[in-house]
Structure 1
Amino acid sequence: MMRAWTLPMLFVLSGSAIATGLTSRGSPGTAAALLLAFLALAGVNSPLIFPRSICVQEARRRSAVDGRPVVFWRPGCKYCIRLRLQLGRSARQLHWVNIWRDPAGAAAVRATNDGNETVPTVVVAGQPHTNPDPGWVREQLSPSA
């Protein structure tokens, strides 16, 4: 789990260092603005913006019951972040598997993508789709979901 927080921590530390330097040089306004920008980058790249992840076995079981897609993702992936942000509240209807926390999930993604851990990989009705369009993913959610 530590590597999931490495990039956000680097953003916070870098932003803090830059803000401290700018404040000491007499630019507190610029320092505050840059610190807020770095904190926003840290937040977007953290696992906190994603719905709670489950293991691949549980995701497959739930998907078989309710028909909702399974999304394999990892923290810091810009395509995963794009998918998550563009799905908005609909993201809660999907089953999310963090491949950095679930080795079986990572293996499932490698099996689908010629040995590569390419994410996001979305499985709909047993068919994997690598880096699909967020609009298409939203369409795959049934109206009753």
Structure 2
Amino acid sequence: MTCTRRASTPRPRSSPRSRRRAAPSRRSSGRPQYCAPAPHGCLLVQGALAVGDASEPVRRALAACRAAILDAIAQRLRQGVDDGDLPADTDVADLARYVIVTSNGIAVQAAGGATRDELLRSIAVAMRAWPAAR
């Protein structure tokens, strides 16, 4: 079985509900982590974090990808505030970082051997912190 993890960034106005948009992405991020024989984990999270000078361009490129994903999530969350499905006082930068931290944690846990069911239960707990719609 071949498995590739498709880069997925939120598209503005692609869903009227920010929670629905975030929750499925958190759930689906548990799936690609377990497609054998592909390695568990995520290249964007774990790739080139601790590298020598020769790999510095790769480290910078992956960091730029992570920053672009964070910006795209924040943009989508801002739209959620504008659409009224997130409270007006939502700190979209902090919430976007929360989404990334949760997603990165899933990748690290998958690489460490967590089962799909364990990851899905963790995602359910993480989504309890999601701001209520106004």
With normalisation by structure 1, the TM-score equals 0.25
Q: Which has the higher strand share?
A: 1
With normalisation by structure 2, the TM-score equals 0.27
